Amino acid sequence: MIQDITIFIILAVGAFVMIILAGIAAAIFMRAKTSQHPEKTPKLEMYVKIFDFGMFVIIGFSLVPILVKFLTDAFPQIIKDSPLPQTLQQNAMLIVYFFWIIAAGGLAIAIPAILKSGFFKPEPPERPKPTENPQIKG
């Protein structure tokens, strides 16, 4: 049975706030430094992506026990004449561990593909596209 989900709520909300603050800080920093050091912008973007991905994983893993707690507490009111809600409440942490194992397995499969695709590599700065001269049309 899950007694207290406070730590999971703090982790999820804290990670969400950190994503927002990191985005704001990176935007301010990139706007200020782009004119001085444009070569450092792609590296900063890479670090923000890695940080945001980590915070997103923390949010995902923290939401599992929160949702399991809410559902197992709601089931006795929904299903009144069954031993199922009591069984689910008693085994709530096993349910959480099961979902965490599934999520960790998904991450283990996805991370090599993410790395291979270059998601965490710095992106080269965009070059302006050449504009077409309207006077030189054949």
Q: How confident is the model at residue 45 (pLDDT cuts 50, 70, 90)?
A: confident
Whether 131 is covered by a domain: the verdict is no
| Within a domain: 133 | no
| Confidence band for 32, pLDDT divided at 50, 70 and 90 | confident
Q: How many residues does the chain have?
A: 138
Total domains in the fold of the chain: 1
* pLDDT of residue 137 exceeding 60: no
The answer to whether residue 127 is domain-embedded is no
Residue 43 lies in a domain: yes
Boundaries of domain holding 44: 6-117
Question: What SS3 state is found at 6?
Answer: helix
* Percentage above 90 pLDDT, the chain: 43
What stretches of the chain show up as alpha helix (H) in DSSP? Answer: 6-33, 41-78, 84-90, 92-117
Q: Is residue 66 part of a domain?
A: yes
**pTM assigned to the model:** 0.76
Mean pLDDT of 21-34: 81
Q: Is residue 79 part of a domain?
A: yes
Q: Report if residue 130 sits inside a domain.
A: no
Per-residue pLDDT at 59 exceeds 90: yes
Predicted confidence band at 65 (pLDDT cuts at 50, 70, 90)? very high
Name which of 100, 88, 104 is nearest 8 in CA terms. Answer: 100
| Cα–Cα distance list, 109 to 80, 101, 121, 131 (Å) | 40, 12, 19, 43
Percent of the chain with pLDDT over 70: 82
pLDDT grade, residue 31 (50/70/90)?
Answer: confident
- Classify residue 37: in a domain, yes or no: yes
